[in-house]
Amino acid sequence: MDLKEKSNILKKIAERHGFDHVAIARAEFMEDEARKLEAWLNQDYHGTMSYMANHFDKRVDPTKLVNGAKSVVSLMYNYYPEENPHEQNTLKMAKYAYGKDYHQIIKSKLFGLLDDLRSNFGSIEGRCFVDSAPVLERDWAKRAGLGWIGKNTLLLNKKKGSYFFLAELIIDLELDYDSPISDHCGTCTRCIDACPTEAISEDGYILDSSKCISYLTIELKEAIPQEFKNRMEGWIFGCDICQDVCPWNRFSQQHQEPAFVMNDELRTFKDADWTEITDEVFRKVFKESAVKRTKYSGLKRNIDFITKE
């Protein structure tokens, strides 16, 4: 079996597990990306996310994560919802958090995929990653040609937009490698113009995370700086502004994952439910959600920062 045939089999198996697109890059040291990451860190654009500076060597060299790694398989999993029942609300949360926590859902599918690959190709050493380890997932997806990194610093795909999760398999199986595609942002600056906290650089492609609403509402554990008062546009967990305005997201299609459907309790939430939320309600409504990450105290902090004078 030649390398191209192996890669085609892998992609078909991945699609059976629900992944929308799959592409493969050679596992190797990322020289250009290492320089860019170092410069970004030196500008303190990671804010209080000190973990971003940890394990630098592993972030830019997959062979330090998996001995003998030969391939980095990048996969897309759609999460674009059918509807937003909170559209008329002032208080909003990012679409990726509507359903159950994606980490567990996708990691389980990756393990199943890896098991199937071993059934087809024999012994394979490898690891599965879903936004939970020192892996530059957008850069690997770009290298493999899943899309290009847009001016909002998210991976964009011509057929799917950007409302998808990224996942990776780093394996010691040699495969046929895909090629990067060109940038299709052109002269568009909608994401830059729409960001209320000016987190995206003037020319795009660089994000100051310390100004990003997603960072402020999730990653930041201390008080939200007063400079962002009246600039959050109602976002209490994450933010979709730079995706909502992106022209490529007109191609987004409804996901087919039952686990990502909003639960009945959350579906009925109005602004008053958010402002009056108790710890008990939080634990009930978000017990299987990524929103648990911010904890009740963090969510309440976000709500109060937006709604109180």
The confidence score (pLDDT) of residue 124 equals 96
Nearest CA-CA partner of 91 in 296, 300, 286, 307: 307
The confidence score (pLDDT) of residue 85 equals 84
Single out the catalytic residue among 44, 115, 116, 131.
131
The confidence score (pLDDT) of residue 285 equals 96
The confidence score (pLDDT) of residue 192 equals 98
Cα–Cα distance measured from residue 273 to residue 42, given in angstroms and rounded to the nearest whole number: 41
The confidence score (pLDDT) of residue 86 equals 85
The confidence score (pLDDT) of residue 132 equals 77
Q: Give the global pTM.
A: 0.95
Paired tokens of 169: 């398999």
DSSP SS3 for 120: helix
Which amino acid, residue 117?
L
Report how far Cα 225 is from the mean position of its chain's Cα atoms.
Answer: 25
The confidence score (pLDDT) of residue 82 equals 87
Cα–Cα distance measured from residue 208 to residue 202, given in angstroms and rounded to the nearest whole number: 11
All structural domains of the chain with their residue ranges: 3-82+96-171, 190-307
The confidence score (pLDDT) of residue 133 equals 82
Q: Work out the burial of residue 160: count CB atoms within 10 Å of its CB; fewer than 13 is exposed, 13-18 middle, 19 or more buried.
A: buried
Question: To which H or E segment does residue 41 belong?
Answer: helix 31-42
pLDDT tens digits along 138-153: 999 999 999 999 999 9
Residues of the chain with pLDDT under 70: none
The confidence score (pLDDT) of residue 84 equals 85
Catalytic residue flag (residue 131): yes
Report how far Cα 306 is from the mean position of its chain's Cα atoms.
Answer: 24
pLDDT tens digits along 248-286: 999 999 999 999 999 999 999 999 999 999 999 999 999
Paired tokens of 208: 């100051």
Question: To which H or E segment does residue 36 belong?
Answer: helix 31-42
The confidence score (pLDDT) of residue 53 equals 86
Cα–Cα distance measured from residue 93 to residue 240, given in angstroms and rounded to the nearest whole number: 8
